[in-house]
């Protein structure tokens, strides 16, 4: 979305605050013994307090207010009463919503309780790489160069990236141009980030897999070669210098 007036920026700030706070509070609320359905209902109630509507529920008919993926699930995990969270689980929560005609998207992975399965280094890598990528974005920078940065930083740490999941433009709808802010470089892509536009930038850092496959439920994504994947995502406003992080209230870098 191109921001052309103050009211549009305020609209994006409001919806971004809603999804950011929802993600933060859900992450804090999660505990062993809770079901992912309980956690999702909690998140849905927070969005409702803001007057916001769940983007996946409204747009795609997704069976939940938020996407909650556990352990070897990469993304789009369906909240379920049968899915009980356990100590040491690797959890990803993705929250996107619409408020007053504006849309925003954010997500984060974290270890529940004690890191008994040693997932924290992967979580840290995803957060650090996203921070480095976003700090490198400004008007005129090639999208492919950010993809190269993300994949290069992952390789330095001994990890891979998921190649068929990507960040995207966001604002007047959930997915806009640019459609593919990938985690690797496509040399033929000459598209550049544009000043005063809003985009959702996300990392998909993996231990083994390079592609995400859809399970029979039609939603849940898992890695093609197994292992684990962490995702972190912010919606940002691109400027001439450091981007404005609209979803900063999610606290994923705190």
In angstroms, rounded to a whole number, what is the distance separating the alpha carbons of residues 141 and 193? 6
Distances from the Cα of 67 to the Cαs of 75, 104, 162, 195, in angstroms?
7, 14, 18, 30
- Which pLDDT value is given to residue 173? 96
Residue 105 annotated as binding?
yes
- Which pLDDT value is given to residue 11? 98
Query: Please, what are the domains in the chain?
Result: 6-250 (3.90.230.10)
Residue 202 annotated as binding?
yes
Residues of the chain with pLDDT under 50: none
Runs of H (alpha helix) within the chain? 6-29, 36-50, 55-60, 120-135, 143-156
**Residues 227 and 209: beta-carbon distance below 8 Å:** yes
- Which pLDDT value is given to residue 202? 98
- For residue 105, count other CB atoms closer than 10 A to its CB: 28
- Which pLDDT value is given to residue 13? 98
- Which pLDDT value is given to residue 167? 98
Residue 99, beta-bridge partner list? 102
For 102-155, what is each residue's pLDDT tens digit? Answer: 999 999 999 999 999 999 999 999 999 999 999 999 999 999 999 999 999 999
In angstroms, rounded to a whole number, what is the distance separating the alpha carbons of residues 91 and 110? 5
In angstroms, rounded to a whole number, what is the distance separating the alpha carbons of residues 19 and 96? 6
Residue 168 annotated as binding?
yes
- Which pLDDT value is given to residue 48? 98
- Which pLDDT value is given to residue 36? 98
């Amino acid at each position: 979305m191109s921001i052309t007036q103050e009211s549009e920026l305020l609209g994006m700030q409001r919806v971004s605050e809603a999804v950011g706070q929802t993600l933060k509070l859900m992450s804090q609320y999660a505990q062993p013994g809770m079901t992912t359905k309980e956690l999702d209902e909690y998140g849905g109630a927070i969005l409702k307090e803001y007057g916001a509507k769940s983007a996946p529920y409204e747009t795609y008919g997704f069976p939940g207010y938020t996407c909650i993926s556990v352990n070897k699930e990469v993304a789009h995990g369906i909240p379920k009463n049968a899915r009980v969270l356990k100590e040491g689980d690797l959890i990803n929560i993705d929250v996107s919503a619409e408020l007053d005609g504006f849309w925003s998207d954010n997500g984060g992975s974290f270890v529940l309780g004690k890191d008994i399965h040693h997932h924290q280094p992967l979580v840290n890598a995803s957060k650090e790489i996203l921070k480095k990528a976003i700090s490198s974005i400004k008007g005129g920078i090639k999208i492919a160069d950010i993809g190269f940065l993300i994949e290069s930083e992952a390789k330095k740490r001994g990890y891979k990236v998921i190649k068929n999941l990507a960040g995207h433009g966001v604002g007047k709808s959930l997915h806009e141009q640019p459609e593919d802010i990938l985690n690797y470089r496509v040399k033929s892509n000459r598209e550049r980030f544009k000043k005063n536009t809003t985009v959702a930038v996300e990392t998909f850092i993996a231990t083994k897999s390079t592609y995400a496959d859809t399970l029979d439920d039609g939603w849940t994504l898992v890695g093609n070669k197994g292992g684990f994947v962490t995702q972190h995502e912010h919606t940002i406003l691109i400027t001439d210098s450091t981007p404005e992080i609209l979803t900063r209230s999610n606290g994923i870098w705190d």
